[in-house]
């Protein structure tokens, strides 16, 4: 990886770390006032606000500030490391990067299922899993193997540009292509990419 790419990744990581410091609350909050008007905000500056939709990235952001439990461990001591190493050896994708994606996607919860149906450690959609021959997305080994193969193909598709590969992992490769092979203007993707990069850097990725 060139020094220019390393510098850009480091800037992304620092930006993600900085954003965690300034975020007092995360998610969508709401309340209905005495006139029946519904108020929604990501800044709960009124005691009537109640959390309505949690930000799924909050645990990963918290882990950058003050890691606890499994997210405080070096990646070599984290759960499923043997499966990660096998997938890394099979695909050439850095084991630290796979751990960073797992950290942000599921926090090592092998039974995680999103409202959109993304499943398991690397939060793969059924269609993506089928593309890579995965039968049981709740099996950690199968899930990590399929996710690693998908990441390998995305890195190849986007000329080893880590930002674009991660954006495609989050939003789909077609979204990146439609937007001129740039980061799509989606709020979640714009949060996701630097967050994964920050964890990758923290785990010693380069």
CA 172 to chain centre: 13
Active-site annotation holder among 58, 105, 163, 188: 105
Looking at the chain, which runs of residues are DSSP E strands? 27-32, 38-41, 50-54
Cα diameter, the chain:
61
Q: What are phi and psi of 181, to 5 degrees?
A: 55, 45
In three-state form (DSSP H/G/I as H, E/B as E, the rest C), the secondary structure along 118-159 is CECCCCECHHHHHHCCCCCCCCHHHHHHHHHHHHHHHHHHCC
Bridge partners for 53 per DSSP: 28
Rounded (5°) CA angle 140-113-79: 30
105 is catalytic: yes
How far is CA 14 from each of CA 49, 64, 194, rounded to the nearest angstrom? 31, 11, 8
Q: Does residue 78 sit in helix, strand or coil?
A: coil
Q: Are 29 and 50 in contact (CB under 8 A)?
A: yes
Q: Which residues are catalytic?
A: 105
């Amino acid at each position: 990886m060139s020094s220019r790419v390393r510098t850009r990744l480091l800037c992304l990581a620092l930006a993600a770390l900085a954003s965690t410091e300034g975020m007092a609350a995360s998610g969508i909050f709401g309340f209905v006032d005495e006139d029946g008007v519904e108020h929604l905000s990501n800044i709960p500056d009124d005691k009537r606000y109640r959390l309505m939709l949690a930000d799924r990235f909050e645990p990963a952001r918290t882990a950058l500030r003050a890691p606890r439990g499994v997210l405080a461990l070096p990646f070599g001591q984290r759960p499923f490391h043997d499966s990660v190493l096998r997938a890394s050896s099979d695909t050439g994708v850095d084991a630290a990067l796979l751990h960073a994606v797992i950290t942000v996607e599921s926090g090592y919860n092998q039974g995680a299922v999103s409202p959109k149906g993304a499943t398991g450690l690397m939060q793969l959609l059924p269609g993506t899993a089928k593309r890579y021959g995965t039968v049981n997305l709740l099996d950690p080994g199968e899930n990590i193997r399929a996710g690693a193969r998908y990441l390998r193909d995305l890195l190849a598709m986007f000329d080893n540009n880590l930002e674009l590969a991660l954006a495609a992992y989050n939003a789909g490769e077609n979204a990146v292509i439609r937007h001129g092979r740039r980061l799509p203007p989606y709020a979640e993707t714009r949060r996701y990419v630097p967050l994964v990069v920050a964890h990758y850097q923290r785990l010693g990725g380069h």
